C-alpha cells in the first residue's frame, strides 16, 4: 500500500510539473472565464475615441467620470456631460447627431461597461484616487486608445502584487476587497 501511494504521489507531481512546463513554454494561462477580461474591448453603441478626447484635447478623466473622486464606483458619463461640449462642437458628425437626438428626446446611450469585477469583490475608486493612484495604473494608457480595452486582468493576484509594494502602504487584509 505504501509503495502504491508513493508511485501515485510521484505521478501527480510529475503531471503537475509537466503542466507547469507546458504553461511556461507556450505562454498558456489557465484562468477562469469571468473576472479576467484582459483584452476585452466591446463595441459601443456610438464609437468613443479616448485618444481624441483625452490625448488630443487633454480632457481629464475626472471631467467625464466625475464621481470617481467621491464614490466607491466610477460612473459611466451621463449624456449631459457629453453635451456640455457637443451642443456646439462637431455637430455635423453623424455620431454626434445620434448623441444630440438621444439628448433632445430625454434618452441616454447604453454604453457597454469594459472593466468588470466579480460581485463578491468591491473596489473603491475614491480611495485609490485619494492615494494618488493614476487612472493609467489599472486602466492602461487610455489617452492613446481609440477603443477602450481592459489592459490588466484585474485578478486578485494582480491587485495584491500592487498592494504588496512597500511604497504603496496599501492594506492586505481580505476584508479590504471582499465582502
Q: Give the C-alpha separation, 144 to 54, whole Å.
A: 8
Give the burial class of 37: count Cβ atoms within 10 A of its Cβ; 0-12 exposed, 13-18 middle, 19 or more buried. buried
First to last CA, the chain: 45
Write the pLDDT tens digit of every residue in 98-117.
Answer: 999 999 999 999 999 999 88
The mean of the pLDDT values for the chain is: 86
Q: Whose grid coordinates read 464621481?
A: 67
Write the pLDDT tens digit of every residue in 55-76.
Answer: 999 999 999 999 999 998 889 9
Question: The pTM is what?
Answer: 0.75
The pLDDT value recorded for residue 47 is 96
127-135 contacts at long range (C-beta below 8 A, 24 or more positions apart): 127/72, 129/62, 129/68, 129/69, 130/69, 131/168, 131/170, 135/61
- Say yes or no to pLDDT of 23 above 70: no
Sorted by where each begins, the domain ranges of the chain are 1-30, 49-76+115-179, 78-110
Amino acid at each position: 500500500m505504501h509503495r502504491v501511494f508513493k508511485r501515485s504521489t510521484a505521478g501527480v507531481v510529475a503531471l503537475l510539473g509537466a503542466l507547469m512546463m507546458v504553461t511556461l513554454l507556450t505562454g498558456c494561462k489557465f484562468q477562469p472565464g469571468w473576472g479576467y477580461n484582459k483584452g476585452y474591448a466591446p463595441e459601443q453603441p456610438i464609437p468613443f475615441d479616448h485618444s481624441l478626447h483625452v490625448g488630443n484635447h487633454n480632457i481629464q478623466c475626472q471631467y467625464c467620470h466625475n464621481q470617481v473622486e467621491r464614490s466607491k464606483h466610477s460612473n459611466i458619463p451621463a449624456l449631459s456631460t457629453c453635451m456640455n461640449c457637443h451642443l456646439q462642437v462637431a455637430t455635423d458628425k453623424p455620431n454626434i447627431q445620434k448623441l444630440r437626438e438621444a439628448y433632445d428626446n430625454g434618452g441616454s446611450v447604453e454604453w457597454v461597461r469594459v472593466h468588470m469585477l466579480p460581485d463578491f469583490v468591491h473596489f473603491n475608486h475614491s480611495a485609490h484616487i485619494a492615494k494618488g493612484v493614476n487612472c493609467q495604473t489599472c486602466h492602461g494608457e487610455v489617452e492613446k486608445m481609440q477603443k477602450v480595452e481592459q489592459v490588466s486582468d484585474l485578478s486578485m493576484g494582480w491587485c495584491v502584487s500592487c498592494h504588496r509594494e512597500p511604497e504603496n502602504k496599501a492594506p492586505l487584509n481580505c476584508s479590504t476587497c471582499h465582502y
